[in-house]
Amino acid sequence: MTRSRKSEHIKEKILEEGVELLSEYGYHGTGLKKILDTVNVPKGSFYNYFVSKEVFVSEIIKKYCNDIEKRLDDYINSTDEDPVTIIRNIFEFSIVEHEKNHMKGCLIGNLAAEIGRSSQLCHAQMENGVKLWEKRLSHLFEDAQKQELLRNDITALQMAEIYWTIFQGGLLKLKINGNMDQLKDMLDIILNSFFKP
């Protein structure tokens, strides 16, 4: 492996470990030492890859968002299901994934609640990620409207924003009550009742 490829490989490992630890312990609870010890990288070497913790976390956010977007695109492009079924399946899969991860919640939602706008760099990455997700979802809602599967008196983008916001709020509530079925029921009510024509 060439030096540049090895460097990229180490950087990727640091980012992957960062996603896991940030999801579990948050921004302030995640120390660089723990991450670097896990991937066996000396602390001084960290700054060869990232100029600061803030830059590091912003790259984690970008990686996290890109990974989710790729999985969404792969699924959407590989299925011939109707758009409402696709939307339902995406969120049901997300709920199952959160359950497998011991209900840590969405990394973006967690970081938004913890650091908000205190980091301009991280905030910009979070905002960009949310916009990209909502744009992809809005295309599905728009297709569903064209097929007359959903109401058309509100825009597809508004539907995407409402649905995603309810999902994120449900994930936060899930941390309190641990009731997975309640979140599933709420999303079903929105999709099968409020959004119906």
Is the same domain home to 39 and 64? Answer: no
User: What's the CATH code of the domain at 133?
Assistant: 1.10.357.10
What's the distance, CA 37 to chain centroid? Answer: 26
Average pLDDT of adjacent 10-residue blocks, the chain of 197 residues: 69 87 86 80 82 91 91 92 96 82 73 87 92 92 97 96 91 78 90 94
C-alpha torsion sign, points 136, 181, 103, 167: positive
Class of residue 71 by CB neighbours under 10 A (exposed 0-12, middle 13-18, buried 19+): middle
Domain count, the chain: 2
| Type of residue at 69 | E
Give the residue from 17, 32, 50 where a domain finishes.
50
pLDDT at 105: 67
Is the same domain home to 126 and 185? Answer: yes
pLDDT at 103: 60
* Run of H or E residues at 32: helix 32-38
Is the same domain home to 87 and 133? Answer: yes
Is the same domain home to 46 and 62? Answer: no
Is the same domain home to 35 and 63? Answer: no
Is the same domain home to 111 and 134? Answer: yes
Is the same domain home to 41 and 97? Answer: no
Is the same domain home to 40 and 111? Answer: no
pLDDT at 61: 93
pLDDT at 1: 54
Report pLDDT digits (tens) over 130-177.
Answer: 998 899 999 999 999 999 999 999 999 999 999 999 998 888 887 777
Q: What is the DSSP letter of 79?
A: -
Look up tokens 């539907």; give the residue. Answer: 159
Q: How many other CB atoms sit within 10 Å of the CB of residue 96?
A: 12
Is the same domain home to 63 and 34? Answer: no
First-residue to last-residue Cα distance in the chain:
57
Is the same domain home to 57 and 130? Answer: yes
User: What's the CATH code of the domain at 12?
Assistant: 1.10.10
Domain hosting residue 156, numbered range: 53-194
C-alpha to C-alpha distances, 23 to 32, 96, 130, 134, 164, nearest whole angstrom: 14, 16, 17, 21, 19
Is the same domain home to 46 and 61? Answer: no
